[in-house]
Amino acid sequence: RKEVEQDPGPFNVPEGATVAFNCTYSNSASQSFFWYRQDCRKEPKLLMSVYSSGNEDGRFTAQLNRASQYISLLIRDSKLSDSATYLCVVNKGSGYSTLTFGKGTMLLVSP
């Protein structure tokens, strides 16, 4: 089983749609959780951290369920500029901090 698994995608949605991405992780000792955004042929950039209580940043909402080892990202009112690959990322934080990435889910928002 892969350490971090994501929906395979791509997701094709019209502008204004709501889209949800799902992710599961295998290491129950994982400490920190993130969503990164990666534009085509660019480096990954931190979109938001994910907390057990759930957190929101504008149109973006992230949720974490530690019991189910499940992470989600909801994007409301999609914009053309949201088109990118969304990477689910886990930091095991077991002494040394290293990031484990999912394969990513591509989002294409069309007019």
Partner 1 sequence: DAGVTQSPTHLIKTRGQQVTLRCSPKSGHDTVSWYQQALGQGPQFIFQYYEEEERQRGNFPDRFSGHQFPNYSSELNVNALLLGDSALYLCASSFPDGDNYGYTFGSGTRLTVV
Residue ranges that bind partner 1, judged by CB under 8 A: 4, 31-32, 34, 41-46, 49, 87, 91, 93-104
Nearest approach in angstroms of CB 104 to partner 1 is: 5
Question: Judged by CB, which is closer to partner 1: 61, or 102?
Answer: 102
Smallest separation, CB 14 to partner 1 (Å): 25
- Please confirm whether the linkage preceding 10 is cis (ω < 30° from 0): yes
Smaller CB separation from partner 1, 17 or 106: 106
Shortest distance in whole angstroms from residue 75 CB to partner 1: 19
Contacting residues for 69 by C-beta, under 8 A, at least 6 apart: 24, 25, 26, 28, 30
Reduced to 3 states, what is the DSSP secondary structure of residue 44? coil
Round to whole Å and give the CA distance between 24 and 70: 4
82/102 with CB nearer partner 1: 102
* Measured distance CA(39)–CA(20) in Å, rounded: 18
Shortest Å distance, C-beta 94 to partner 1: 7
71, 33 Cβ separation under 8 angstroms: yes
Q: Which is nearer to partner 1, 14 or 40 (CB)?
A: 40
